[in-house]
Amino acid sequence: MRISDIIADFLLSGLGESGGMLEVSRGELAQRFGCVPSQINYVLTTRFSPEHGYIVETKRGGGGYVRITRVRLSGNALIMHAVNAIGDSIDARTAAAFLSNLEAVSDPRLLSVIAAAVSDLALRSVDPEQRDAARASILKSCLILL
């Protein structure tokens, strides 16, 4: 397992214990995991983006911190939010993040079918230039039915 995954797991479990909000120090975290501080930023941007359902706030300077908050919208609001947030184009990773974010509010079988429909495997025959646009369009078409 990559260090990024280990850090992400650590943060995730902290979020779980603390009921959705977590405050850490970037420097301390980096020290604990023996990596450079910017690695923490990498983890945050790749795994705790708004698409994944998190808000990250930070403060610099003395007493600085990194605060991660799990956003918990419910049901329709979440779906509508996702539909609105998907633009004209979306890459496979982001699409997967959106879908996993909907797990709490929608049938997992439906979600896995949608995930299959927008996977790179399913879209292999689409010109790479158009692939992300097609993915966005398909994803929105599916989500509004949920």
Partner DNA sequence: GTCACAAAGGTCAAATAAAGTCAAATCACA
Partner DNA sequence: TGTGATTTGACTTTATTTGACCTTTGTGAC
CA 68 centroid distance within chain: 12
- Options 5, 9, 23, 28; binder of a second copy; rule CB under 8 A: 5
Q: What is the DSSP string of 36-69?
A: -HHHHHHHHHHHSSGGGTEEEEEE-STT-EEEEE
Choosing from 70, 103, 122, 128, the residue that interacts with a second copy (CB under 8 A) is 122
Q: Considering only residues 19, 34, 62, 128, which one is a binding residue for a second copy as defined by CB under 8 A? A: 62
- 124 lies in the binding site for a second copy (CB under 8 A): yes
User: Binding to DNA by residue 37, rule CB under 7 A?
Assistant: yes
Cα gap 46→7, rounded to integer Å: 12
Chain residues 42-61 in contact with DNA, contact rule CB under 7 A: 42, 46, 58-61
Interacting span for DNA (CB under 7 A) from 10-18, 33-41, 75-83, 135-143: 33-41
Calculate the CA 8 to chain-centre distance: 11
